[in-house]
Chain A
Amino acid sequence: MELYEKSAHELKTMLSDRQISCSELVEEYINRIENTNGTLETFLTKTYEAARAKAKSIDNRLAAGEDAGPLGGLPFALKDNMCVDGVSATCSSRLLENFTAPYSCHVYERLDANGAILLGKVDMDEFAMGASNENSAYGTVKNPYDITRVPGGSSGASAASVAAGQAAFALGSDTGGSIRTPAAFCNLTGLKPTYGTVSRYGLIAFASSFDQIGPLARDITDAALIMDTIAGYDQRDSTSINMKKLDYASFLQTGMKGMKIGVDRDALKAGVEDETIRVYEETIGVFKKLGAEIVEVSFDLLQYAVPVYYMVACSEASSNLARFDGIRYGVRAEGKTPEEIIVNSRNKGFGEEVKRRIMLGTYALSAGYYDAYYNKALKVRRMIKNDFYRVLENCDAYLCPTTPAPAYKIGEKNQDFMAMYAADIFTVTANLTGIPAVSFAAGQTKDALPVGMQLMAKALNEAVIFRAVYNFQLETDWHKRHPKL
């Protein structure tokens, strides 16, 4: 097995044991990036100089017998919507092509302080709007398992980079499934944490009441390692929960006998492919074998999840993206008046999907429509939350597919945006309700395409889903697969 195919926690042990040096490990990843980036198109900005310098200083600390930190020496990739002081942050948009962040986001500060090493900023759907990473202004990211297919989105390159061994782990952001969908398509473990447990300070916002930052990693142990570093109260984020940090590593316990897992076979009628249904049943079988009690559940309001999500998220986005006016930063298209500058810059700088969502959101908030659309959607959001809480009273965790189908061909779906939106049916619910949701590698199709399954639990109950995935990954090998690049 190549070094870059190992999990982060394995590499951490090797570094601590001094089996490899940090500088060697960083070079290993840099080589891998250089060999594969042309194909995969994941990295937008490389920070090799700083990475090598940090690796050296960590090696010195290790040599002196010092601790390098919980993530000491582990190289990672960061989605290009997270700010790092002095580094480009484009959100994969033309509008921010020339933007260098003058400060760092909270999660980067935490990773940096704990010894992790930034290799670079990776591609995404523009302003996190998309589920396939086909909406980037800087090219299309490929799925390492099949380079004719999409890696998922919007954190497509975050997933592809880890799957391909370009980084030990990556951070993505999830607003309607943007960590979990790429995790499912690229055979990874991807977590959208409980809303409010990871600070959004420094994350360039898409939809404020939905966005959460989370890990894309090879397994749940890696995810726990990362969460123990990036999670926790940050006073700079007013939506950050002021509570004692959860101890994610402590959730990785063997044995899950008696855990109640809710399953909903009715939901599978929503256009889910046969192979995905097959993997779903196989996953249920594994959990049964591990001692879980399978409980039939059903939802009353699932059919409203996607419309409500798009209505509210786009409304928030229309406001969050208004600051990109070409006046103070970003790429400006000139005009004779301020209005012209603003209109021209946005027209030229934004891609089609971004424009579509801004228009949708603006419409939903506008006078005469606010009550019928935005306000109504907020009310239904509350009802959906209640619906989920009702279901989660009867089970510890809810199991469903991450996506209705595995990775599709590039260009296959991006002409029908409504169909794209509909495919978010299994992921948007966690963002609407704020509950935690993890996608984990659960099988593959006969074409060897990864299939991901999802576990959700009540808010702040990461303990139960971490434990379930941990035991699943002790029992199965899906997460140990690697693409043949």
Chain B
Amino acid sequence: MSYEIVIGLEIHCELATKSKIFCGCPTTFGAAENENVCPVCMGLPGTLPVLNATVVEYAVKAGLALNCRINKESVMDRKNYFYPDLPKAYQISQFHKPLCEFGFVSVKDEAGEDKKIGITRIHIEEDAGKLVHEKGATLLDNNRCGVPLIEIVSEPDMRSAAQAQSYARKVKAALQTAAVSDCKMQEGSIRFDVNISVRPEGCGTLGTRTEMKNLNSFRALVRAIEYESKRQITVVSEGGKIYQDTLRWDDANGKTISMRSKENAHDYRYFPDPDLVPVVLTDAYIERCANELPEMPESKSRRYIADYGLTRKEAVLLTEDIALSALFEEAVAVGGNPRMCANFILMEVLALIKNEDEDFGGLKLTGGALGRIVQLTEDGTINNSTAKKVLAKTAATGQDPDAIVQEEGLTQINDDDQIRRVVRDVMTRNPQCVRDLSDGKGKAVSYIVGQVMREMKGKANPAVVNALIDETLKEMQK
């Protein structure tokens, strides 16, 4: 029996407004405990919420960036439940009439075909506080109370971890490009909840789903989906039953743990918040938001393929990260060959980012510097392996590439005579290698090239080295 995995994603994303959603407190990350608070976000008796207009603007832009219909009238509802990190014992959210609906994101399926992942709705809501467990006590930090969130709910359209990851990356790229969130996973400004169920291939009804909350890296997302889908398939194919449950993903041990929570039984008693009025937007307002959006990843990607001859894979990878596409465009702008720039970014620069969830801004590499390195490589001043060295140094120190090449004498050596002397020397000292070469063993060439490069501190022009090895071999065979 073959099983199909059905996945839906709920993405919570913090909007990058200066103040919170219902009060003027700052939203800055990393403040001291209970520093960014006031009576309103602490839900003290007698306080009232006032909706931050920029939150609405950012949420509309997020909706437009994700191809949604913007509802001209939406309502703030109260979601009622008791929990120590929820000061009012209700979260102000949107239930009956959300701000955005019926959007989509395109991904490729396993066959390489285009597939639309539907977005059911996007609504605005406030975040809760944070509970810190230490020294046998539970402490409450209210800084996060009232931070504005959008919740993006997908249709259960994804069928694999790869599709889910692709969807998540595209949503992140769209939100970052629209500049409504910094989407820093390590700071929790974007979080993924996954709903998974399995069903026999071809079955029309959905199986029982489990939910995994607050996955905060793409790696965890993929691993969690792979594990849980395998687990469910095993249970079901052995005749067992899946129970609706909220699971915690234990990344260290690579498994899901049941939280046996009663969340599925929870009745939130949603009703329109009587302290707020409906959010009413005009066509002109929505149009203004649309006009203020910069070029979105999809169209940027098409432009890279058309104008620069990049492959689709290259274009998608570059446009998925706003920092990478900015780097690319700057490098091309100073005159770097586009395909080489793309190659350098995707092969070398990404390798330099140790933790892919880390803020790219940690590298001191500018687009201009990268473009220059590409130019120097293209015109033969340095070879590829030197280019990698220069790139690493620039990224670490911010130093100008030309200066690095000068200071460290990294200019490629093109002098035939100089190289010929070293090649002859190496081949003379390695007669066995030469014999292997004659017999056509390709590995011998690499060994000799490696030895030559070592002698010449990597600066020899590889094409010249190879040509001179051939030339020397012919001479030695005479």
Contact = CB atoms under 8 A, between A and B. Distances in A.
A123 B256 CA distance: 54
B259 interface: no
B95 to A, nearest CB: 11
A204 B43 CA distance: 11
Interface in B74-116: 78, 80, 82-84, 87-90
A131 interface: no
Contact of A238 (B42, B50, B90, B138): B50
Interface in B189-205: none
Nearest to B38: A103
A327 B275 CA distance: 23
A181 interface: no
Contact of B276 (A101, A204, A238, A362): A238
Interface of A: 81-83, 89, 91, 96, 99, 101-103, 105, 200-205, 207-209, 235-239, 315-316, 318-319, 322-325, 327-329, 338-339, 342, 362, 365-367, 370, 374
B334 interface: no
Interface in B245-298: 267, 269, 271, 274-277
Interface of B: 39, 42-51, 78, 80, 82-84, 87-90, 138, 140, 267, 269, 271, 274-277
Contacts of B269: 318-319, 362, 365-367, 370
B267 A238 contact: no
Contacts, number: 94
Interface of A: prevailing SS: loop
Contacts of A204: 45-46
Given A99-B45, A238-B50, A239-B275, A323 B87 contact: yes
Contacts of B274: 207-209, 239, 316
Contacts of B44: 102-103, 329
11 contacts: A83-B45, A103-B39, A208-B274, A315-B271, A319-B269, A319-B271, A322-B82, A323-B88, A325-B82, A329-B44, A338-B83
Q: What 9 pairs between A and B have smallest CB-CB spacing? A: A322-B89, A208-B274, A365-B269, A209-B274, A204-B45, A367-B267, A202-B46, A204-B46, A83-B46
A83 B40 CA distance: 13
Nearest to B275: A208
B50 A101 contact: no
Interface of B: prevailing SS: loop
Residue from A105, A202, A238 with most neighbouring chain B CB atoms (10 Å): A238
A410 B43 CA distance: 36
Contacts of A200: 48
Contact of A325 (B49, B89, B277): B89
A342 B84 CA distance: 9
Residue from A235, A318, A322, A339 with most neighbouring chain B CB atoms (10 Å): A322
B125 to A, nearest CB: 16
A282 B350 CA distance: 90
Contacts of B267: 366-367
Contacts of A201: 46-48
A200 B43 CA distance: 15
A202 B38 CA distance: 13
Contacts of B43: 323
Contacts of B275: 205, 208, 238-239
Nearest to B269: A365
Contacts of A91: 45
Contact of A203 (B39, B46, B277): B46
A328 B88 CA distance: 11
A328 B45 contact: no
Contacts of A103: 39, 44
A339 B82 contact: yes
A178 to B, nearest CB: 16
A327 B84 contact: yes
Given A99-B45, A205-B45, A325-B82, 11 more contacts: A91-B45, A237-B50, A238-B276, A239-B48, A239-B277, A319-B89, A323-B45, A339-B82, A342-B82, A365-B80, A370-B269
Contact of B80 (A82, A83, A319): A319
Contacts of A324: 45
Contacts of A315: 271
Contacts of A238: 48-51, 275-277
Nearest to B81: A322
Contact of B271 (A82, A338, A342, A365): A365
A83 B276 CA distance: 21
B46 A236 contact: no
A96 B269 CA distance: 26
A323 B277 contact: no
Contacts of B51: 238
A102 B39 contact: yes
B16 to A, nearest CB: 23
A101 B271 contact: no
A359 B46 CA distance: 21
B19 to A, nearest CB: 14
A253 to B, nearest CB: 34
Contacts of B90: 319, 322
Contacts of B84: 325, 327, 338
Nearest to A324: B45
Nearest to B50: A238
B48 A322 contact: no
Contacts of B80: 318-319, 322, 365
A102 B78 CA distance: 25
A366 B50 CA distance: 27
Nearest to B266: A367
Contacts of A82: 46
Nearest to A321: B89
A414 B126 CA distance: 41
A322 B39 CA distance: 16
A204 B275 CA distance: 13
A236 B50 contact: yes
Contacts of B276: 238
A169 B79 CA distance: 39
A199 B199 CA distance: 55
A200 B47 CA distance: 8
A127 B131 CA distance: 29
A370 B271 contact: yes
A288 to B, nearest CB: 40
Contact of B78 (A319, A328, A362): A319
Contacts of A367: 267, 269
A96 B46 CA distance: 13
Residue from B42, B46, B267, B277 with most neighbouring chain A CB atoms (10 Å): B46
A365 to B, nearest CB: 4
Contact of A205 (B39, B46, B87): B46
A209 B46 CA distance: 14
Given A328-B87, A370-B269, A105 B82 contact: no
A170 B375 CA distance: 81
A99 B44 CA distance: 11
Contacts of A322: 80, 82, 88-90
B78 A235 contact: no
A323 B89 contact: yes
